[in-house]
Each structure stands twice: as structure tokens, then as C-alpha cells.
Amino acid sequence: MQIYLPIAEVSVNAFLLLGLGGIVGILSGMFGVGGGFLLTPLLFFIGIPPAVAVATGANQIVASSVSGVLAHLKRRTVDLRMGTVLLVGGILGAFLGVGLFNHLKQLGQVDLLVNLFYVVFLGIIGSLMMVESLRALRKSRRGAPPARKKHNWVHGLPLKMRFRTSGLYISVIPPLVVGFSVGVLAAIMGVGGGFIMVPAMIYLLGMPTKVVVGTSLFQIIFVAAFTTVMHASTNHTVDIALALLLLIGGVVGAQVGTVVATKLRAEQLRVLLAALVLAVCLKIGLELLLEPSELYSIAETH
């Protein structure tokens, strides 16, 4: 069934969009990532103009994150206090990021920069997670007791706050900094930033994996909502019809994903996410390295 999208001005298969939304939704519920880093390139691939794909992707992420957070709230696996602290940093970072993005757009080469950001960040995070979670998986298989939480430099900073749900008593500075940097990256890369946020929460802040997913989703809702309104009001690139189809698939997928996540062990979950992140990294990396079949590209300048 073909459907014409009013803002994207292309006609696409409705079931394809539902399926795409569903896959991204499952990932969202399983890993606590918004799925933007996967959805946006997939939308490019099926012929949605990049600007529309980025903006509408953000809108779809709001829906699947809301659905995911509600499921996690029921399970009490959302650290609202930590989420709020991260969010404050995130919004400030997004402001800076949007400014930076517009500046780079004037210089040209913004596409290259976005792709390089993807490769570098997905590559680093993917490999770190993969190594760490494989090690953890091997350890737990041997039956050794899990390593006790180590106190690192993060715990020596002032302005300490108690995060009950996470079982942490740490300074608010690291979460603010994490939120801020993710906000900057999110605005530049046009994603919610979950794939950076989740590992940062686990490895930098030392939060338990179960809480990380819900808290990340909570924070993503607001960053993605902010991005959506910014894009809609300045670039007119949010396509409601596209978003609606993606999010119908997405919200259902998110619920399925949350159920799947409770059936898997935390280490397995992390290995899977790492593999996914590395796969996307590899794909974007190859595009930069291999000679493209068409050297020329067309951009409409309105």
C-alpha cells in the first residue's frame, strides 16, 4: 500500500514504514536507546530526504521512548532524580549543539562531520562495550562472584547527591557533564543519544544496568521532543504522516522489546547492543572508505 508523505513529498510503502518502526521499537525497549542512530540511516536508504528523516526520526523516538518509559516505570527501573539531572545537562548541550550544527552547515561538509562522528563514537563505544561485556559474560559463566563496584575519581567530587533507585551517592557534576556532552552530540548527529548515554551511565557513573535503560529513555523523551519542536519550527521538516506510521510500529515494538529484555541477562543484552553499534559503525565507515558508485549528489537549495 503506497502512501504519499505530505512534507517529504515522496510516496512509500506503508507496511515498510510500519516494519521499520517496529524493528527500531524493539531495540528501543530492549536497550534503552532511542534507535535514532539506526532509524535515520534506514530512512535515508528508502529515499526520505535527509532533513526530513532526521527531524521525523526525533519525533518517532519520542513515541517509542514514552512507551518504553511507562513500561519501565511500572517495574520501578527509572531513576527519576538521575534522569532529571542528566536532562538539565542535556538541554543545555542541545542548545549549544544546534548552534554548532548551523555554523558547520554554513561551512559545508556537515554530512562528512556527522558521518565521522558516527564512525568514531559508535566505534569507540561499541568496541569498549563488546570487550567489557564479553569479559563479564565469561566471568559469570565460570561462576565467579561479580566484581564489587570500584570507587574511582568520579566519587571524589563535591556536591554529592543520593540517587536511591540507582543505589548511588555521587556528585551531580559527572551526570551533568555526561548529559551535556550527549546533548551536544545528539543535536549534531540528529539522534536521541541513547547509545552514548547508556554506556556512559554504566561505565562512568556506575549505575546498575537494569536502571540505566529506563532512565536513559526518560531523558531521551525530552531531548527528542526538544529537537522535534526545533526542527518543526525552524526547518519545517517534521512529517506527521511518516512519524505516525513509524510510531505505530515503534510503540508496539518497544513493548515487545521490554518483555524480551527481562528474559535476557544484562551481559547478554550488552553484547547484543555492542554488536549492533559496531555493525552500524562498520556500514557508515565503509561508505566513507569505499569508492561510491555515484560520485555526484544533488541537494535542493531552497
Q: How many residues bind other proteins (CB under 8 A)?
A: 60
Cα dihedral sign for 148, 152, 154, 156? positive
Confirm or reject binding of residue 234 to other proteins (CB under 8 A): yes
Site for other proteins in 82-111 (CB under 8 A): 108-109, 111
Confirm or reject binding of residue 254 to other proteins (CB under 8 A): yes
- 237's CB contacts (< 8 A; 6+ apart) are 7, 49, 51, 52, 54, 55, 56, 231
Q: How far is CA 143 from CA 63, 207, 209, 244, 267, in A?
A: 40, 22, 20, 47, 14
Of 157, 240, 264, 279, the one binding other proteins (CB under 8 A) is: 240
Confirm or reject binding of residue 299 to other proteins (CB under 8 A): yes
Name beta bridge partners: 160: 171
Q: How far is the CB of 32 from other proteins (least distance, A)?
A: 15
Binding mask 213-232 for other proteins (x = CB under 8 A): ------------x--xx-xx
Q: Choose the binding region for other proteins from 156-164, 171-179, 190-198, 245-253 (rule: CB under 8 A).
A: 245-253
Q: How far apart are CA 250 and CA 175, in angstroms?
A: 28
Confirm or reject binding of residue 263 to other proteins (CB under 8 A): no
Confirm or reject binding of residue 46 to other proteins (CB under 8 A): no
Q: Choose the binding region for other proteins from 7-15, 87-95, 173-181, 184-192 (rule: CB under 8 A).
A: 7-15
Q: Choose the binding region for other proteins from 143-151, 171-179, 264-272, 291-299 (rule: CB under 8 A).
A: 291-299
Cβ atoms within 10 Å, residue 101: 17
Nearer to other proteins, 158 or 233 (CB): 233
Confirm or reject binding of residue 158 to other proteins (CB under 8 A): no
Confirm or reject binding of residue 64 to other proteins (CB under 8 A): yes
- 92's CB contacts (< 8 A; 6+ apart) are 179, 180, 183
CB 258 within 8 A of CB 68: yes
Of 24, 30, 51, 63, the one binding other proteins (CB under 8 A) is: 63
Q: How far apart are CA 8 and CA 51, in angstroms?
A: 9
Q: Choose the binding region for other proteins from 135-143, 161-169, 271-279, 285-293 (rule: CB under 8 A).
A: 285-293
Of 27, 30, 67, 211, the one binding other proteins (CB under 8 A) is: 67
- 4's CB contacts (< 8 A; 6+ apart) are 10, 11
Q: How far apart are CA 17 and CA 204, in angstroms?
A: 36
Q: How many CA atoms lie within 13 A of 239 on its CB side?
A: 24
> What residues make contact with other proteins under the rule CB under 8 A?
1-4, 6-7, 9-11, 47, 59-60, 62-68, 70-71, 74, 108-109, 111-112, 225, 228-229, 231-234, 236, 238, 240-241, 243-244, 247-248, 251-252, 254-255, 287-292, 294-302
